[in-house]
Amino acid sequence: MANVATATDSRTKPMTAEERKVIIASSLGTVFEWYDFYLYGTLAAIIGKQFFSQFPPATQAIFALLTFAAGFLVRPFGALVFGRLGDLVGRKYTFLLTILIMGLSTFAVGLLPSYDQIGVAAPIILVALRMAQGLALGGEYGGAVVYVAEHSPRNRRGFYTAWIQTTATMGLLLSLFVIVTLRINLGEEAFQTTQNIFFGLKGGWRIPFLLSIILLIISIYIRLQMNESPLFKKMKEEGTQSKAPLSEAFGNWANGKIVLIALCGLVIGQAVVWYTGQFYALFFLQTVLKIDLLTANVLIAWALIIATPFFLVFGSLSDRIGRKPVILAGCLIAAATYFPLFGALTSAANPTYARAIETVKAEVRADPATCGSLFDPVGIRTFTSPCDVMRRTMSNQAFRYTQVDAPAGSPTQLVINGGAPITFTDAAAFNAALGPAMIAAGYPAANDPAKVKVNGFFSALANGQSLTIIAILTIMVIYVTIVYGPIAAALVEFFPTRIRYTAMSLPYHIGNGWFGGLLPATSFAIVASTGDIFAGLWYPVLFALMTVAIGLLFVRERRDVDLAH
């Protein structure tokens, strides 16, 4: 009973001044780093037009998403490089280096000339800068989490590290706030293309990237005031630190098995829920529901503001009932409700479109031998057969269709509500005929007044339609807080101090960088290949359910483990 009382007292007593300093210093620097990283994701559509202008609009969007994903793909390599450095030389100086790389890479994107100015060098440099950001973030997150965890009381570890978990959402929120403010004050045309910056560079979208240099200076100053982790200093003084963190962490099955269990039984599910609730929801609003960029950003921003405190709620809950039940419950609830939630989002944001996908019957009738797979997550395939071109065109414009097999040798035709068929002759003619025909059948025009639209940040609170959308988005972001709030504490508790930075960073960044980061492009490719706007949700649903199953069977609860081991 004495142990229980001590644990309760520890959980309820206020933070010390030193603990607050550790959390604030780590969190602020990490907020700025996530701000840098997510600027690209928020502005992906505009960046696609600037740096991939040699491609058609649909391909621009895919390449923009893939360049965004490139930063996620290299994150595990950053985890290995900087995790090793953190376990060898210390936590503090490693994430000083990572924030310097991130800040300079982000600033450079704001100075990068477009494709029209320097040709193919522009997208190549953009991808290189994006990969530098990913490498830096691969080392940053693990350093911040380990640093805070090693300063935390054992019975408040979930609550303390949950402050770090808020930083990804706060960084996204900060990027949205800066972008929305500039869009409102500059106007959309100036923001995208006409605002003169300097040296012939145009577009107000560059300003958020250039502002990152100020955040970089602040972050470096803050982190220079920090002391090294006490557990690392103690380990270094005793001479027990690892001489080869990579081989010790991953070169034997005992540790390698733990990495795999952490990845598949916790992180992958957390990752797909995280990216569905924040990034795919934003992408779905813009690309599928055709909501303008300002409105979509404002609605997501309000959801983030409302839901962010729940990171601390669920981090604290995990101190009481465990990391495993909180994370797995979040994955299960999300998987069970994503389809109805996205259906409700569609009805609220674009009601005319929601009615159309249910009532307009569009059939692509073609010889099945001429219809191939449309799955194209990397956006480099060329479609030439009439059946493929017709289905691809309809998917890119978010028109729902079903494929009907026609006799061999039949022409490819689109039949809308049983009317006169539109026979495919060439791509340009079909594209010109498609939009008016679908609008006449019931799909909304671009200026449909029923579609949600806001003109400013607070105007989103002025009507029931936008409030309903904010409520739906907030539910999805709360799912994010359930799975993401406790994940940092769960991961640091899996591994000993001597290899903690290296070992916990890799499963986190494989799960979030690969399974999460590739979610928007892969889900959109699933939508394009099926003609069903909701089909992309199977990606997060199946991976979330996989995590629940593996987590229940193999993950051990370790919330009260002593980190000094």
Helix ranges (DSSP H) in 52-90: 57-73, 75-89
Sign of torsion over alpha carbons 248, 252, 257, 260? positive
Q: To 5 degrees, how large is the angle CA 89–CA 93–CA 96?
A: 150
Longest Cα–Cα distance of the chain, Å, equals 83
Tell me how far apart the alpha carbons of residues 159 and 162 are, in angstroms, rounded to a whole number. 5
- The structure tokens listed for 496 are 């000993």
In this structure, what DSSP letter does residue 252 have? S
CATH domain 18-350+455-554 topology: Growth Hormone; Chain: A; (1.20.1250)
Structure confidence at residue 68 (pLDDT): 72
Position 5 scores a pLDDT of: 37
**Residue 86 and residue 67: Cα distance in Å, rounded?**
28
The token duo for 368 is 């099945």
Please list the residues that pair with 121 across neighbouring strands.
none
Residue type, 268: I
What are the CA-CA distances from residue 83 to residues 70, 485, 504 (Å)? 20, 22, 9
One-letter identity of residue 255: N
Q: How far apart are CA 363 and CA 403, in angstroms?
A: 6
Please tell me the predicted confidence (pLDDT) of residue 148: 84
Q: Which two tokens stand for residue 7?
A: 């644990």
> What is the rounded end-to-end Cα distance, in angstroms, of the chain?
25
Q: With DSSP H G I counted as helix, E B as strand and the rest as coil, what are the percentages for the chain, rounded to 5?
A: 75, 5, 25
Domain borders along the chain are 18-350+455-554, 355-441
Q: Which residue's entry shows tokens 């559509």?
A: 45
What's the topology of domain 355-441? Answer: Glutaredoxin (3.40.30)
Task: Please give the angle made by the CA atoms of 368, 369 and 370, to the nearest 5 degrees.
Answer: 90
pLDDT at 487: 94
Q: 445, 451, 167, 178: which is closest to 297 by C-alpha?
A: 178
Cβ-count burial 307-345 (b if 16+ within 10 Å, e if not): bbebbbebbbbbbeebbbebbbebbbbbbeebeebbbbb
CA distance 529 to 376: 8
pLDDT in the model for residue 234: 65
CB 497 within 8 A of CB 291: no
pLDDT of the residue at 562: 76
Residue 511, amino acid: G
Per-residue tokens: 409: 């040798």
130: phi then psi, degrees, rounded to nearest 5: -65, -40
CB 506 within 8 A of CB 83: yes
Q: Comparing C-alpha atoms, which of 228, 244, 227 is closest to residue 236?
A: 228
pLDDT at res. 242: 60
Nearest to 83 by CA among 251, 225, 244: 244
Contact by Cβ (8 Å): 538, 338? no
Going by the DSSP 8-state scheme, the letter that residue 227 receives in this structure is P
pLDDT, residue 2, reads: 37
Amino acid present at 532: D
Q: What is the rounded CA–CA span in Å between residue 510 and residue 256?
A: 14
Q: Which neighbouring-strand residues pair with 414? A: 364, 422
- The CA distance from 440 to 218, in Å, is 55
Helix ranges (H only) for 374-426 are 386-396
CB proximity list for 125: less than 8 A, separation 6 or greater: 112
pTM (two decimals): 0.84
Please report, in tens digits, the pLDDT of each residue of the chain (565 residues total).
333 333 444 455 666 777 777 777 777 777 876 787 678 777 877 888 888 877 776 667 667 767 777 777 787 888 788 877 777 776 677 878 888 888 899 899 899 998 888 888 988 898 889 888 888 877 777 777 887 888 788 888 999 999 888 988 888 888 888 988 898 889 888 998 888 888 888 899 999 999 989 888 888 887 787 776 666 666 666 565 666 666 766 777 777 888 899 999 999 999 999 999 988 998 899 888 999 988 998 999 899 999 999 999 999 999 999 999 999 999 999 999 999 999 999 999 999 999 999 999 999 999 999 998 887 766 667 788 999 999 989 988 889 999 999 999 999 999 999 999 999 999 999 999 999 999 999 999 988 999 999 988 888 898 899 999 999 999 999 999 999 999 999 998 988 877 777 778 788 888 887 888 778 778 877 887 788 889 999 999 999 999 999 999 999 998 888 776 6
Which amino acid makes up residue 478? I
Buried b vs exposed e over 499-512: b needs ≥16 C-beta within 10 Å?
bbbbbbbbbbbbbb
Please state, as a whole number, how many other Cβ atoms lie within 10 Å of the Cβ of residue 384: 8
Helix and strand counts by DSSP (H, E) for the chain: 27, 6
Q: What is the pLDDT of residue 260?
A: 92
Contact call for residues 198 and 525 (beta carbons, < 8 A): no
